[in-house]
Amino acid sequence: MANALLTPDLLRRLEQFQLLARRRAKSSAKGERRSRARGQSVEFADYRNYTAGDDFRYLDWNLFGRLEKLFLKLYEEERELPVSIFLDASESMTFGTPRKFDFARQVAAAVGYVALCGFDRVSVVAFPDAVGEGAVRGALRSVRSRKSALPFFQNLSQLTAQGTASLNESLRRGALMARQAGLAIVLTDFLDPAGYEAGLTALIGRGFHVSAVQILSPEEVNPTSFGDLRLIDSETGSRQEITFGRYRLSAYQQTVQNFCQRLREFCQSRGINFFTATSDTALEQLLLRQLREAEVWG
């Protein structure tokens, strides 16, 4: 399967995985996930007393022979798992070499492919809204079946990063608009002045099982520019002139580490899987090691 996001070798390895949901699927559409609903699959769930009008085909006649009472066999119905991928497509994600947005799209492609191979429903929620991308973004809102993987990759490749985003508002709106809660994968740098707490809390409150992937550029972790600098906010256009000497590097790095640690602690205290990676991280390191060890998939 040719695509510009994932190599054929990585695709073959991803096909061996399945997303591991701690909560059983609640979707109304049939799939390959066990749910609490009772249906007509081959997976036996329980018995209940027979009542008038029940289908005789599900009576347990062996049990009737022993107890002389009619019991109906209940089976566990298989449902699909809704997977929502919240993809930060704001202008700030274009920073870095490689760009943070390119790495984020690759992770989104990998998560989506694993879900599609498992017959789950995938929705990519890219934020903020972008002019001229309505059709592409609409096509990514509800994708099913493995045969949809190639157009899924093509639509992901056509997304661009532009504009100013509110992380909290985007996650809150996505939580409210979701038809069913399931897995939520949040791909962003989390560098929003308004914070991230309200948005992640909204997903948890809606019932999502959340995994957060913080993506930073190598330059944001270990800057290489020093001296008198003029910094321009890529989203707001605001400018600030600073003097950044090498003697300040350790203090800057400590600030970055403290921010990431607070984010990690916030996520862990609320049962959110948290991962951090720079945009030059080997994709296999995150996908085949970190996510697997955390039992996001297996």
User: Per residue in 6-24, pLDDT tens?
Assistant: 999 999 999 989 888 644 4
Cα distances (angstroms) measured from residue 115 to each of 10, 31, 148, 179: 15, 11, 11, 17
Asked if the model's pLDDT at residue 63 lies above 90, the reply is no
Cα-Cα end-to-end distance for the chain: 22
Could you tell me if 72 and 58 are in contact, meaning their C-beta atoms sit under 8 angstroms apart? Answer: yes
Fold category of 8-24+80-293 in CATH: Rossmann fold (3.40.50)
8-46: b (≥16 Cβ within 10 Å) or e:
eebbeebeebbbebeeebbbeeebebbbebeeebeeebe
Q: Where are the domains of the chain?
A: 8-24+80-293, 30-79
User: pLDDT class for 221, splitting at 50, 70, 90?
Assistant: very high
The model's pTM is 0.82
Percentage of the chain beyond pLDDT 90 is 63
User: Per residue in 240-268, pLDDT tens?
Assistant: 888 888 888 999 999 999 999 999 999 99
User: pLDDT class for 147, splitting at 50, 70, 90?
Assistant: very high
